[in-house]
Structure formats: C-alpha cells, structure tokens
Amino acid sequence: MKTIGIIGAGAIVELYYINTLKKLGFNDILLFDTNTERLTKIACKFNIKAASIDEINRYCEAIIIATPLDSHFKLCKTFCRSKRTLICEKPFLATLADFDLLTKIAAETDTTIFVAHIRRCFSANELAYHHLQQHDYGKLLTAHIFEGSRMNYQSSSNYLHNNPLGGVLYDTGSHAIDSFLWITQLSTAAIIIDNMIVKTDKEEPSHECSIQFDINKANVYLQLSRIKLLANKMVLTYERAKVEVPLNLKPNIIVSTNNLMQVVSCKDACINYMSEAFKFELYDLLVVKNTEKYGIENFRNTTLVLEKLHNER
C-alpha cells in the first residue's frame, strides 16, 4: 500500500482528505504544515505522522499539495520524481509560464501530475459533459455563470484575506471557470479570449467580481461572490438549445429546445455529499489514475483564462 504525503493541514485536509484516504485503505499518511501547532493538532487527531518536507520527499509515492496557490509551483517542482504521483488542489497555478515549465519538468522526470478540480466529478457536471458530447446543438453563443454564497469558513493560513491570489476569482472562480471549460469541451481546445471587462469590489484579494469576456466569439458573463448568495448555476445558450447546469451537488440539468423544457437526470447513482465527491475523486486519482479527466494537460486553458482575467482586474 502506498505511503501518501500531504502538504498542508488546512480545513479541507482536516474535513475530507485524511478521512477519505483512510476509507480507501491508505493508512500510511505523512503530514506537513508550516504551522507546527496546527500540524501537531491534526496529526494527533487522525493518528498520522507529522513529518518534514524531506521525509515526505524521501518516502512518499504519492503527494497531495493542499496549500495556497502561490506555493503550488515551487512545491510541485520540488516533488517531481520518477514514477511519483502528485495531486495539486485547485486553483492549480497562477500563470501560464509556470504551467508550461512545470509540464516540461513533469515530462522530463516521469512524474504524473493531477489537478484536483473536484467539480469534474459532480453529478450535474458529469451529466452535462456527456450530454453535450452526444447532442449537437450548434455553436455556443452565450454563457451566464453565477456562483456565490456567504463564506462560512476561515482558512487556517488566512490567505483568502491577505494574499493577492486569494481573491474570489481564483478561490471560487477557478471552480466555475473550469466547470464551464470542461462541460463545453473547451478545456483542451484552441481558444481565443478577448473583450474582457473585470469589475471587483476592492483590490485583491476581492470578495466579489463581475466579469465579461468573449471566448471563441461566445459571450461569457460571470458573477462571483463570497459575500452574498447568487443563483449558483450556469446557463449555456447554443444555436438550438439552452442548457442549465447547477454549480453544486444537485443532480439534474435542464435542457430547453424548441420551447420545450426537459429535466435530464443521472442514470447512475448520484453524488449527494461532499464526502462522497472526495471519495470518488481520490479513487479516480490514486487507484484508477484517470489522466483523461484530471491529468495536467487538461488544465492549461483553465490557467490561461484565470491569469488573463486576474491581470485585467
């Protein structure tokens, strides 16, 4: 059984990662965090070993990086090693230059890098992704994306409030934008982004933003907030259909064609809880090794769009 290293002992690791790994049979876990007090607390709570960076680099076959965005490139580069699996939490990287360099390093060192965008395993996203592959509705004309709620947790590092890369665009928007690109099959396509207008409530890290941009001539309207509740859905308008996708754990999508509205439901068992989503995702990453969905090459456009919008603020 693999020894799993985790870098970062924040809320997501405490709430989901460690318990999920143990449920999947990965009990040999080494944990590191720069906050030694929190590291000791979490290691004791779950009866796992508090370790150093060097110990994790030496002994772990797979490493999960669950730290703030601005540390991802350096940590991924440090841990690249032959036959090793790296899993990096979203948002992956802040710049396309870092993305391309890390992709090159991973190839040279025979390291498999996965990006943990958990929304890709949400039932509605999966359903919309496959539905749009199977139905030709013509060109995408517009996308209206709304995601927002009152932030109800405090990160242990407080980067959401003091880090220029901790604003709502990278924190929440990375989920919404990646879901949009993946569902519409734009995540690996050649894309052109222009006509960007970005409005934020304050200097970074912002808590609300309103964004307009064109991607391959389709108009995208994006609203994000961690102060107020928004619709939490994506509405995709094609030449011959409108597709509504919830941006949460709701299982159905709504498809409208010729003025007829149809609720499309999952044929298989749906994911109803976040803990189930983590179990599904980590099984896909550590056991199945699903590069088609989570491999690094599938997230270049997500990085590109986020960087362009961030720089336009």
156 pLDDT tier (thresholds 50, 70, 90) = low
pLDDT score at 130: 96
| Residue 154 scores a pLDDT above 90 | no
Closest among 160, 172, 61 to 117, alpha carbons compared? 172
Mean pLDDT, to the nearest integer, of 194-219?
96
Question: Where residue 260 falls among pLDDT bands split at 50, 70, 90?
Answer: very high
Q: Is the pLDDT of residue 175 over 90?
A: yes
DSSP string, 159-216: HHHH-TT-SHIIIIIHHHHHHHHHHTT-SSS---EEEEEEEESSSSSPSEEEEEEEET
Q: What is the mean pLDDT of residues 279-308?
A: 97
Question: Region 130-134: what's the mean pLDDT?
Answer: 96
Q: What is the pLDDT of residue 153?
A: 61
Among residues 169, 176, 188, the alpha carbon closest in space to that of 300 is found at: 188
Residue 206: predicted pLDDT: 94
In the chain, the domains with their CATH numbers are 4-118 (3.40.50.720), 119-269 (3.30.360.10)
Instruction: Average the pLDDT over each of 36-45, 49-58, 116-125, 145-154 and give the range with the smallest value.
Output: 145-154
Q: What is the pLDDT of residues 12-53, one digit of tens each?
A: 999 999 999 999 999 999 999 999 999 999 999 999 999 999
- Kindly tell me if the per-residue pLDDT of 244 is higher than 70: yes
**Predicted pLDDT at 155:** 64
Mean pLDDT over 195-219 rounds to 96
Question: What pLDDT does residue 160 have?
Answer: 77
Q: What is the mean pLDDT of the segment spanning 79-107?
A: 97
Instruction: State the pTM of this model.
Output: 0.95
For the chain, percent of residues with pLDDT exceeding 90: 91
* Band (190; pLDDT cuts 50, 70, 90): very high
Answer yes or no: are the C-beta atoms of 135 and 213 closer than 8 Å.
no
pLDDT of residue 48: 98
Mean pLDDT over the full length of the chain: 95
